[in-house]
């Protein structure tokens, strides 16, 4: 499992930084190593301290150079990226690891496996059909924010449009303090980003096959990756986990994961609540967006919902949580200590919108206390 990197414990990138973030670049392609190095050296917050052409060399370089972050290719000779991640975590390396994956089924599967083994995030490699400048721009736009999320202190959250008067978040509020009883709860909705695959792998297998409510999830991921993640989670869980499809009905004991590059909303029909998908404008720079799903949930279920915001960069979900919370929904936010990045849950907590701020291993038991007995 990844070692959480807390913003308050890390280097602050930017003009006020006292030192640069030390980065090790690992890739068997000389071209990709040059691309990544060029991108990083254009930013004054970073220092590339070394290179490795395979995982075996990366282990030696990591021990010698003590980088704070490693960009790690997956497919390499002698020792691939997956084996390197396992070895680094086994010996206690706390460096953040960002995997570099191709946007293919094989690449997505390997990237998700790496995340399960201890990598912190991933980027997709640009297409070889792009121009050099296009490849650099694509990689820069994806890689730089993903590095800085581990080292930048979080900014004050944007105030939600509706800010009801709320009590200060407590570790766990008794069920009787909620606006609705467990028997009245009708759905669980989850928003998650960086560190999400590992978080979901911890949470969903703790739920019984007889879980009485449907679950809808937005995990920020591109196409192909979400299908691979859903299959991996379903294989490890008693409940069914599926990538969302147009018209798919919500069912008790089924978790539906928003597909990459599609917003997922819920729609009530005469016979069921179903999934609808669209490729509307990005929200919070995301598609799928947590806010998009949560708004649709609020329109159908209102306060009969349980909302969960787990580890992730940014503030996606903040406005959707505000909408749910004013109707009486119960909101759980993952705590700082167990989050890989405390951006999304931190924004909810700082806005005073969380009923409970919990360690990851406490989230599933809390959900089970809030829903009807299975």
Cα dist. 205→117, 121, 135, 211, 364 in Å? 17, 22, 39, 11, 9
State how beta strands 46-52 and 69-73 pair. unpaired
Give the residue among 300, 341, 350 at the shortest CA–CA distance from 322.
350
129 is catalytic: no
| Contact (Cβ atoms closer than 8 angstroms) between residue 39 and residue 136 | yes
Q: Is the peptide bond before 158 cis (omega within 30 degrees of 0)?
A: no
- How many angstroms from the chain centroid is the CA of residue 224? 16
CA-based diameter of the chain, in Å?
A: 64
Annotated catalytic residue within 93, 220, 234, 338? 220
**93 in catalytic set:** no
**Domains along the chain?**
7-148 (3.40.50.2300), 175-370 (3.40.50.180)
- What's the pLDDT tens digit per position in 160-213? 433 333 334 444 444 334 578 999 999 999 999 999 999 999 999 999 999 999
Q: How far apart are the first and last CA of the chain?
A: 30
pLDDT beneath 70, residues of the chain: 1-18, 127-131, 152-178
Q: Tens of pLDDT along 293-305?
A: 999 999 999 999 9
pLDDT reported for residue 33:
93
- Residue 126: the pLDDT is 74
Q: Distances from the Cα of 272 to the Cαs of 48, 218, 306, 372, in angstroms?
A: 54, 20, 19, 20
Position 130 scores a pLDDT of: 60
Which residue among the candidates 73, 80, 316, 355 is catalytic per the annotation? 316
263 is catalytic: no
Q: Which of the following is catalytic: 93, 101, 193, 305?
A: 193
Helices then strands, counting H and E runs in the chain, come out as: 11, 14
């Amino acid at each position: 499992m990844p070692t959480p990197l807390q913003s308050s414990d890390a280097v602050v990138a930017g003009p006020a930084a006292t030192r640069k973030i030390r980065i090790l670049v690992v890739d068997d392609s000389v071209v990709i190593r040059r691309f990544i190095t060029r991108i990083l050296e254009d930013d004054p917050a970073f220092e590339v301290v070394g290179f490795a052409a395979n995982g075996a060399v990366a282990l030696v370089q990591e021990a010698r150079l003590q980088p704070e972050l490693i960009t790690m290719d997956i497919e390499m000779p002698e020792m691939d990226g997956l084996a390197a991640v396992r070895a680094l975590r086994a010996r206690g390396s706390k460096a953040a690891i960002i995997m570099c994956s191709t946007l293919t089924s094989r690449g997505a599967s390997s990237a998700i496996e790496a995340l399960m083994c201890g990598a912190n995030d991933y980027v997709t490699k640009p297409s070889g059909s792009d121009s050099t400048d296009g490849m650099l721009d694509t990689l820069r736009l994806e890689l730089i924010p993903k590095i800085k999320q581990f080292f930048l202190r979080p900014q004050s959250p944007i105030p939600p449009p509706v800010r009801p008067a709320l009590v200060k978040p407590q570790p766990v509020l008794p069920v009787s303090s909620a606006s609705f009883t467990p028997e009245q709860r009708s759905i669980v909705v989850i928003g998650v980003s960086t560190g999400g695959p590992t978080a979901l792998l911890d949470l969903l297998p703790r739920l019984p096959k007889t879980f009485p409510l449907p679950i809808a999830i937005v995990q920020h991921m591109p196409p192909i990756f979400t299908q691979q993640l859903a299959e991996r989670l379903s294989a490890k869980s008693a409940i069914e986990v599926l990538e969302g499809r147009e018209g798919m009905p919500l069912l008790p004991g089924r978790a539906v994961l928003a597909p990459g590059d599609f917003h997922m909303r819920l729609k009530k029909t005469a016979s069921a609540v179903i999934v609808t998908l669209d490729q509307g404008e990005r929200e919070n720079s995301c598609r799928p967006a947590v806010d998009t799903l949560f708004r649709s949930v609020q329109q159908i279920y209102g306060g009969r919902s349980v909302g969960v915001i787990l580890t992730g960069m940014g503030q996606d979900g903040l406005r959707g949580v505000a909408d749910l919370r004013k109707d009486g929904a119960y909101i759980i936010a993952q705590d700082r200590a167990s989050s890989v990045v405390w951006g999304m849950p931190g924004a909810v907590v700082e806005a005073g919108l969380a009923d409970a701020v919990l360690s990851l291993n406490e989230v599933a038991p809390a959900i089970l206390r809030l829903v009807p007995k299975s």
